[in-house]
Amino acid sequence: MSDTHDVRYLDRTTPPHISTLILLAGISALSMNVFLPSLPGMTAYFDTEYRLMQLSVAIYLAMNAALQVLVGPISDKFGRRPVILGGLALYVLATVGCLVAPNVTVFLICRMLQAVIAVAMVLSRAVVRDMFAQDRAASMIGYVTMGMAVVPMISPAIGGFLEELFGWHANFWLLLLAGLLVFWLAWRDLGETATETDNTLWDQFREYPELLKSPRFWGYCLAAAFGSGAFFAYLGGAPFVASNVFHLNPGKMGVYFAAPSLGYFVGNWITGAYAARAGVNRMVLWGTIVATVGMAMSLLSSYTGHSSPLSFFGFMTLVGVGNGMVISNATAGMLSVRPHLAGTASGLGGAIMIGGGAALSALAGALLVPGAGEFPLIWIMFFTSLFAVFAIVGVIWRERQLGL
């Protein structure tokens, strides 16, 4: 994107620079996982149970999913720029609420409102699809999310050290500063890329059945939902496994948490380098297989008595590699089923993906009880990865039947 002649950095009359899209996607990732090493400490601070505190992940994902259903059609009608800027402004206010929350109830409400940052993730992808065709868009989304992957790679480690040095509030001060900086950057650099439409907002919402009737759209959505579902289950369950099974302190916990993000970086690099040549279907298939094999190896390691922090988190790297190959390509696929509905497709697909992730995150938190070990989490991640394989195989079969 940055090699096109009409992109001028910090000029809101031209399409945005790729670095702006990376940071828009990155702040969403930062908000999701920077505070995870603080969950045990926050449980003690608010004098509550871990299962209740873990809802800060699940309700964030659930609200994130609900918002994405609305964000796509609204941005197709009114444009990407005003929706992104409005979402960032609300995110800043919600983060302030998290910082001053007097009890766990107020905190969870403000944490739920923080999910408005979904607009940044969803619409950064829609902007790419506004500008490029399917396979090229997959490659560019891969590069955007590869850069974005640096954030979740290092943010748990940063969050863990901030927790040890200053307490959990420091993580939300970091989110507040990031929100303000990204708002300024978007205001200066984010030019409008959506094409104007004469449809009313209600007309935009009425386009949903066109997508929902498409088997290919569902196939790509389910591949992305199940593929990323393994990672969301990890977000909900890994803090418990790290602290209660392996007895890691917040600093070490944050370092180990980076494992899937390291793999995610590699997977997105593979997507950026090869998606345009291999095509989205092959990339999604290979990615789902990599993640499934990783979880099968993790199960084998645990059941043979070789489980350790290194093996448990090490195999999670393969889930990250798989996600890096699956999400970008499946997203490009679902956005290309009906190109004129790119924003709507991004929002609906993201809602399905994140909504499923919220349920899996809550399920992981519910099943992980003292004495259960890491087994419930690994089994959840294995089956969701396997279901992702079935979903993309269905897409490939469908396209062969149609001669596409």
Percentage, residues of the chain above pLDDT 90: 33
Question: Does any domain span residue 8?
Answer: no
pLDDT of res. 212: 78
Report the number of distinct structural domains present in the chain.
Answer: 1
Question: Does any domain span residue 267?
Answer: yes
CA atoms of 392 and 222, how far apart (whole Å): 8
Question: Does any domain span residue 174?
Answer: yes
Question: Does any domain span residue 111?
Answer: yes
pTM value is 0.70
**What is the domain range of residue 352?**
18-191+200-402
Burial 328-351 (b: 16+ CB within 10 A, else e): bbbbbbbbbbbeebbbbbbbbbbb
Question: Does any domain span residue 369?
Answer: yes
pLDDT in tens, 345-355: 777 777 787 77
Which segments of 167-279 does DSSP mark as H helices, in order? 169-189, 201-205, 208-212, 215-240, 250-257, 259-278
Is the pLDDT at 207 greater than 80, yes or no?
no
Spatial CA neighbour of 259 closest among 194, 322, 183: 322
**Residue 67 half-sphere exposure toward CB, CA atoms < 13 A:** 23
Domain holding 209: CATH number?
1.20.1250.20
Percentage, residues of the chain above pLDDT 70: 89
Other Cβ atoms closer than 10 A to 274 = 17
Assign 274 to helix, strand or coil. helix
Mean pLDDT of 340-348: 71
pLDDT of res. 255: 80
Question: Does any domain span residue 12?
Answer: no
- Residue 127, H or E segment: helix 118-131
Question: Does any domain span residue 248?
Answer: yes
Mean pLDDT of 14-19: 80
pLDDT in tens, 220-279: 999 998 988 888 888 778 888 888 889 888 778 878 887 887 888 888 888 878 877 888
Task: Specify the range with the lowest mean pLDDT, choosing from 269-273, 296-300, 323-327.
Answer: 269-273
Whether 35 and 108 have beta carbons less than 8 Å apart is answered as: no
CA atoms of 349 and 93, how far apart (whole Å): 27
Q: Could you tell me how many helices (H) and strands (E) the chain has, helices first?
A: 18, 0
pLDDT band of residue 5 (cuts 50, 70, 90) is: very low
Question: Does any domain span residue 148?
Answer: yes
What DSSP string describes 185-202? HHHHH----SPP----HH
pLDDT of res. 4: 46
pLDDT band of residue 93 (cuts 50, 70, 90) is: very high
